[in-house]
Amino acid sequence: MDVIVASFWSKRPPLLSRLYVYSPDLDPSAFSELPRILCVVEGLILFRVAIRCRQPGCVLMEECDYFVYHVDSASLELIPNPNPSPVAFRDEDVSLLPRGNGGFTVAALVPTTDPKVFMLHLLHSAIGSWTSQKVSLEAPQNEFPMETMEILRDRVVDACRLLHHSTSTVITLGGEKGTMGWVDLWRGILLCDVLLPEPELRGVPLPLPRAMFLAIVLPDEEIRIDFGCTKLYRGIAFIKEKRCLRFLDLDISNERLPDKNEKSLRFGWTVTTWSNCNLINSFDDWKMDCLPVHGDIIRFDEQMQKQLLKCQLLRPRSAQDKDNSVGRNLENLLVFLPTPSMDNSDVVFFIAKAEFLHPETYVFAIDMRSNHLQDVTEFGVEMELCDDFICHLGSVI
């Protein structure tokens, strides 16, 4: 059996903590793909490693090893491969529930042919084997308001995407019942108390995309809504101190720059933050934390401006302009992957690029309450040979 070694380097945001995985017995080419972090919860990191897979670029679950890294004790624990039938799930379907004293539960929720029934797969570290059971919605989930979709039918791309739950990420709420939430960032959350003998599901809807509201308010404007990759535009976190969910909605528009460079795009973006402390099946429980923040009102000091200019994230005006003010501001950047802070502050994080094909990538920390850019740090990105990914994030904010 090959030896696997892991090292974790912890940093405070917006600097990125990093997990390094290698094998002293193997050449790096033996890894069929980069080790992939599946989730990080309270000092526990679940990741998988694919070595010598039969078809690189098309990794099968049975060809992977799964590990839990304990940050406090700097120890690594191999867990049973989840693949043997009937246990099988996507990377997005699984997360961790810390149990104290180094114990944990791994949980995955997988859809069935019945949209109201799912398979819950559990592995308790004290037992060391997988169990599976069917779980159902205890009450019909609050459906996406299809009357709104009917109004917008000519502007919505792939509206059928909203008719079923497809997990984007998993959040861990914890508590005595071991509450976890499987989040479809477009549609809503399925909460489940995984430690109960007979767990059930209950739904919590998410705020509608801001673009939908704009399309209704501005019926004559060219506003298109594309329900594509959710993590590029929406983010969620559980704030443990307040027992509250915090949600981000990033709305991006683009248009051609008023110059001769046909490959350039002018990006405009707006981010809205929401909170929900009730966690019940109601759209009305989501409260906007503050007014939506537009990229063009983000403020920064002179030292930060110099740093942004050096990184080419800002661009001075041309010589034809009457003054030397900045010609490209933060609203013109390409931003994606919005991430709420988990420390009960008003800070949110974004990945930012000067242009779509620009090689350098950065992490922004923005205070939503004061509209102030707090910090910028460079972020290394590994490119994937796959059309479904812009980048692969092997680090943790």
List pLDDT tens digits, range 289-346: 988 899 989 999 999 999 998 888 887 655 544 444 445 578 888 899 999 998 878 9
The closest of 121, 2, 106, 86 to 50, measured between CA atoms, is 2
The residue assigned the tokens 């039969």 is 54
> How much of the chain exceeds pLDDT 90, in percent?
44
Provide the whole-model pTM: 0.85
**d(Cα 272, Cα 175) in Å, to the nearest integer?**
29
Confidence band, pLDDT 50/70/90 cuts, at residue 208: confident
Query: If you count them, how many residues does the chain have?
Result: 397
**d(Cα 333, Cα 289) in Å, to the nearest integer?**
24
- Domains of the chain by residue range: 229-397
CB atoms within 10 A of CB 310: 9
**d(Cα 334, Cα 252) in Å, to the nearest integer?**
9
The closest of 172, 86, 171, 97 to 131, measured between CA atoms, is 86
Q: Residue 84 corresponds to which tokens in the numbers above?
A: 């043997």
Q: Which residues pair with 5 in a beta bridge?
A: 22
Q: What is the pLDDT of residues 40-87, one digit of tens each?
A: 999 999 999 988 765 555 666 667 889 999 999 999 999 998 877 677
Q: Stretch 137-146: mean pLDDT, rounded?
A: 68
- Tell me the one-letter amino acid at 344: N
Residue pair 172/97 in contact by the 8 Å Cβ criterion: yes
Sheet holding 361-367, edge to edge: 334-340, 347-353, 361-367, 372-379
Burial of 126 (0-12, 13-18, 19+ CB in 10 A): exposed
User: What is the end-to-end Cα distance of the chain in Å, rounded?
Assistant: 32
39 in helix, strand or coil? strand
Cis peptide before 340 (omega within 30 of 0): no
3-state helix, strand, coil in the chain (%, to 5): 10, 45, 45
pLDDT of the residue at 56? 54
pLDDT of the residue at 134? 96
Q: Residue 356 corresponds to which tokens in the numbers above?
A: 């779509």
Rg (CA), the chain: 22
| pLDDT greater than 60 at residue 160 | yes
Phi, then psi, of 299 in degrees rounded to 5: -100, 155
Confidence band, pLDDT 50/70/90 cuts, at residue 383: very low
The residue assigned the tokens 């984007």 is 168
Confidence band, pLDDT 50/70/90 cuts, at residue 384: very low
**d(Cα 255, Cα 277) in Å, to the nearest integer?**
38
Phi, then psi, of 231 in degrees rounded to 5: -70, -20
- β-pairing, 244-256 vs 234-239, is antiparallel
Phi, then psi, of 308 in degrees rounded to 5: -65, -40
pLDDT of the residue at 144? 62
Burial of 359 (0-12, 13-18, 19+ CB in 10 A): exposed
**d(Cα 237, Cα 397) in Å, to the nearest integer?**
12
**d(Cα 61, Cα 110) in Å, to the nearest integer?**
15
Higher pLDDT, 33 or 236: 236
| pLDDT greater than 50 at residue 165 | yes
Q: Residue 264 corresponds to which tokens in the numbers above?
A: 């350039």
Q: Stretch 364-373: mean pLDDT, rounded?
A: 94
